[in-house]
Amino acid sequence: MGDASGGGLFVSENRVDLANEINEAINRLQLANPNVSWSEVQNVLIAAYCRVVARKAGFTAAERWSRMRRFSSVVEQQIAANLMAPGELIVANVPLLPGVFRELRSQAAASGQTTSQLMAAILTRAAGR
C-alpha cells in the first residue's frame, strides 16, 4: 500500500466497486501485518488513495476533494463492517434489486440462516469452493 502507485487502488464512480476494493486492501494489509490497528489501516488507505487521486488527470480540486471525502467515508464504513479476525473474510458489496434481496432474505429465513450467510454460501458454491 505504501508504494507510489497507491497499492492498486483505483478511482471509481461506483460506490460498490470502491467498497470492494477497500475490503481487498484491508485484507492485504491485515495479512501483511496481523497486528495492524484499525486507525493504521484507515491512515494507510487514505494516504494511498491520496496518491491515486493526485495522479488522476482531469480532476478539478473540487472533484479531488469530493473523491477523498467519499473514499474516507467508505473506509470508515468498511472498517466497521470488517471487525473480524485478520485475513479471515472479505466483505463483498453487491447491488441487488429490492425484490431479489427480499427473496434471498425469505430463503435465508426458511433455511435458518441470515441473508449474508445464504449469499456467502451461494457465492462460495459459484466460485467452485
The pLDDT of residue 43 = 94
Structure confidence at residue 7 as a pLDDT band (50, 70, 90): low
Give the total residue count for the chain.
129
Using a pLDDT cut of 90, give the percent of the chain over it: 31
The pLDDT of residue 17 = 78
Question: Which of 7-16, 45-54, 93-102 is predicted least confidently?
Answer: 7-16
The pLDDT of residue 4 = 46
The pLDDT of residue 111 = 95
The pLDDT of residue 86 = 62
Among 78, 83, 55, smallest CA distance to 67 is for 55
Check if the beta carbon of residue 58 is closer than 8 Å to that of residue 16. no
pLDDT at 116 over 70: yes
